[in-house]
Each structure stands twice: as C-alpha cells, then as structure tokens.
Amino acid sequence: MTMIDIPFDKRHSCWFCDEPRHGFILCPSTAKKAMSHPQVQVPICAECHQFTRQVYFEDIWQCRDIIKRSLRKKYHQHLAIGDNWTQQELLESEFDDNAFGGFKKSAWMMYEIAKQRVNANGWPIVIDGVEYLPPLTNTFKFNGLVYANVAEAVHQQCRQHALDEAFVIQMIEIVGQQRFAYVIRLAKLYRGLGIHPKKQLISELLEEFSQD
C-alpha cells in the first residue's frame, strides 16, 4: 500500500499530533470511486490510533478532525491551565505545599504539550509525487488553540467553564465571532444567574450592536 511522502526530519513523527509514531493508519480505510486523495498509509502514534477505532472517515483531513476533537476532550483540564494562568502567574503562585507543589512545577509543561498536539498541522500530503490540498475549512482560533469551527470552540469553552451554551451562542450571533473573548467574559459574569438578567443583557447587546 502507498505511503505518504515523509520529510526526513519527520520520519519518526505522528502526522496528526507530532508525537513519536507507533505505526500507520490507512486513510480512508475503505476505497471508493470518488475520493479526495488515493488510499494511503499515514504515520500515527498509539493514542491517536485509538481515537480512530470504529470511526468512519472519508479522508486524512476528516480523520485529523476526529483526532483533534478527541485530544481536546481528553486533555481539556491540561488545556484549561492556559485559560486560567499565564506561565508567570504560575511561577509566582503560592502552590508550594506538598499537595500543589508538583502541579506548580509541571502544569505549564502539561499545557504546552497538549496545546502543541492539538495545534499540530502535519506536513503537506504528497502521494507518489502529487500534492493533495486540504479542503477549505472554517477553523477558529481562541486562546492559542485551533478548533475545527466556532461551534466547537463554543462547546469546549462552555463545558470547561460551566457556561450556558445557548446564551453564549445567542450573544455571538449578535456581536459576531470576532468578539468571542468578550462573549466568554460576559458569560462567566452571568454564570449561575437566572433567565431574566440574561434576557436583559441580550436586549442591551441588541441595542448596542444594532448601531454598528
């Protein structure tokens, strides 16, 4: 079976997350008449391979989306470290007792490793000398992390911070996704409040942003 071209410096790397590879995965697993690229073997690490078991995917890029979503879900606590602290704040924190001393020492490294794996792009897909370009996507970046789209970013942030997802979506529809950070800050301020304060805020946003 054909293998994608692998740059020399990536010969031991997982295409999906840049960790050391464990083996290869066939993308797509079943050949069809119409495919975005030929069936091909792609280097993959053991953990990424686990995420693809019993999951159907059309091509290497859809496989990557599945893996990235699984990584974000599994390591959401590690990724949350970058949401809650900067590296300097962790260094200056008072987590020095036995219970939290280890966290202070390793937390930023855990965040960086998870972030790098989630954001890894792989290298260009070249098969038998022909380069295959990825489809156009609506990827969305927030707090240094790349999401498949804004809806996934909303879901992840709401899950991570116990926010009202419908409330967040409603605000984004009003103010636009370019103000995503602003929406998340507002949602945190209104976390745990009832429906009436939220309705009032929505009315105020509608009035303010209808004038833009």
Q: Provide the residue-wise pLDDT of the chain in tens; the chain has 212 residues.
A: 789 999 999 999 999 999 999 999 999 888 888 888 999 999 999 999 999 998 888 899 999 999 999 999 999 989 988 887 778 877 776 665 555 556 667 888 899 999 999 999 899 999 999 999 888 777 899 988 888 889 989 998 998 899 999 999 999 999 999 999 999 999 999 998 889 999 999 999 998 887 65
Q: Give the Å distances, CA to CA, from 153 to 27, 120, 145, 157.
A: 26, 17, 9, 6
Which residues, listed in sequence order, are joined to residue 42 by a DSSP beta bridge?
Answer: 25
State residue 107's pLDDT score: 84
The closest alpha carbon to 25, from 116, 139, 121, 47, belongs to 47
> 13: which residues sit within 8 A by CB, 6+ positions away?
19, 20, 21, 43
State residue 91's pLDDT score: 74
State residue 100's pLDDT score: 54
State residue 1's pLDDT score: 74
Spatial distance between the Cα atoms of 91 and 100, rounded to a whole number of angstroms: 12
Task: Please tell me what DSSP assigns to residue 162.
Answer: T
State residue 97's pLDDT score: 53
CA dihedral 25, 27, 29, 34 (to 10 degrees): -170
Spatial distance between the Cα atoms of 23 and 40, rounded to a whole number of angstroms: 13
State residue 212's pLDDT score: 58
pTM of the model as a whole: 0.75
